Structure 1
């Protein structure tokens, strides 16, 4: 038997009417709509965070064992009751109505839950044959003990105070962790000595090829390193395909080429790729959230872009800028010996089953060899339109050594 069923069984057999429990002998009919509206509203407005129950099919007399009579008429559709409440009360009250078998008796259970938007009140007039019993727009009732009362100023003060408390986002409600380690710590090794060989075509080889071409050397006799570069995918043309102008363009392009290749090797093959997860465990979303990461550049090195490797650079033509191109790598700035990365996260919803990933493309980072610290702190900050002050968390890189 499920825990909730055990609770319902105990209420049926031993329960007494209270702030969270009421009993009725019969289902609410059209003639009892006014009573139904007041009962549901009063329960929802009660100063209690627990689920509230109205159990149908019990003749309750205080001080005497509950008389379980059951429901003999047709069981009413939940939608009828829900439409009545939705049409007459604001904001929306969350409740359900379902059949429940107790031995040989059929009972009806109203469960009123998630009442975190009090006060609930009439949004329009509800007329009856007796004008004195009519409900007016703005009427508001609350359950105290086993009775219903009009809401008074003290009740409203308590409801507003409770709502503000629930809507406040505290530091402990927001969790920021490394996506790779699923914790606020991660271990990284120092980068060590890089094994980047001198296999790449340098600008001197291009200069030699140009001199050979100008001196009348046939294309097929030009320096063999060009063929090697073509076979490696670095050059998209062999010397046989290139004119002298193309070779001169190639020389201009190669001036910075080797640096790019080395940076590619360093950040794509030797560094770590880090991303971060944000979980919002509060009762409200973070609106227009801005995530900022800061870490000292004395201890780590972070790539400011994704450097392309062999085969990804055009041999002759410079990059053609596509106005619709979106670079997924975050903007990395270096200010006062600190790396700073900032990204707009938009709305970070509460209690999402999937934590929010901060970056589309993880940052490339490595610990410098000269770093003597065993621990490096990363400061993470979240600003949002509905945060009175930023939320700051500190994550740690554990340096594993050389």
Structure 2
């Protein structure tokens, strides 16, 4: 009987501790969550595509919220905007002659980061074939790993896939750097080799500006950083559906940015933390993760203790109310530490239930994970069933505000051990990250 009483008392104490903890999170409230995400996903943000006025407006809004929260700029920055340059390459002209026969332009495309290509002799490039029996997608990937200039002769059987890739690349590509690396030129032809060839290509290259938005709460351990992040860009204006052409990106990823800003407000109210906390809204996740890549180059990754990346937390997960999942759960023990901190609360965290979706590599956490940082994404979207992902229907009205507010509270509780310096997650094995 005594043992039962003690167990009951212990359970009650545990539950009371969880309830008391939740009481301390009153700074995270649904009206403020609603205000932030409504603003970020409003039509006047125009879908927050990179290089657009809507994207810049979103960056300005996030920066103004950091100012209100009284954050400091990121290390090495003078304000909340971490601006950097990338390049947009647009194909202009391409010509090729194989064994004396000139190919039409619609049978050619190039993958390069040079402004021009001029191959006039066999030594300028190696010839590789994608034969009738090859898997085009797999062969295309393998060719692009080759450390040499390559002329790729593609069998006509692959005409449909060839044209799809040509059309995609004709719209241009975003580059971090230009004028280095290797070029590949793909030619749709019945030839299996070419004893002589010439290839000429011209591209237009424009430098463009991108901006991460970041703020900091400096901790007692100034060079130990904990990162909370999300991406603020989305896919902008799309083909109209029922008269609506704006892909508002409410769940993807205004929800994650809202969560990150709310966590900044929450931790700021707690005064000086043990570790320094960085709050970052990344640019250009949707076009290649360029924002997180630039951010990762500004700090020593060994000084980043953990990254809590937040993406698509506006809808309930398959695990029920007040639950979320963590991508790459097995790659460090950050998830287990978070689960431990959530014991006795109404919140729960689970391993990613969609390994076939490759979610660990589909968000900004992957960049830092490749550098060994325990960097994971927290999400709750049922990605296998979600009908609004990357559509004009990803709007505020589709979200569950009580759930989203709960998710932010759960992240606050789950991260407290790392922020306080009491817990340090194991590092990700860089050799096991693609």
Alignment TM-score > 0.5, same fold: no
Normalising by structure 1, we get a TM-score of 0.25
Of structures 1 and 2, the one scoring higher in RCO (CA 8 A, sep 6+) is 2
- Whichever of the two has the greater Rg, that structure is 1
Normalising by structure 2, we get a TM-score of 0.23
Q: Which has the higher helix share?
A: 2
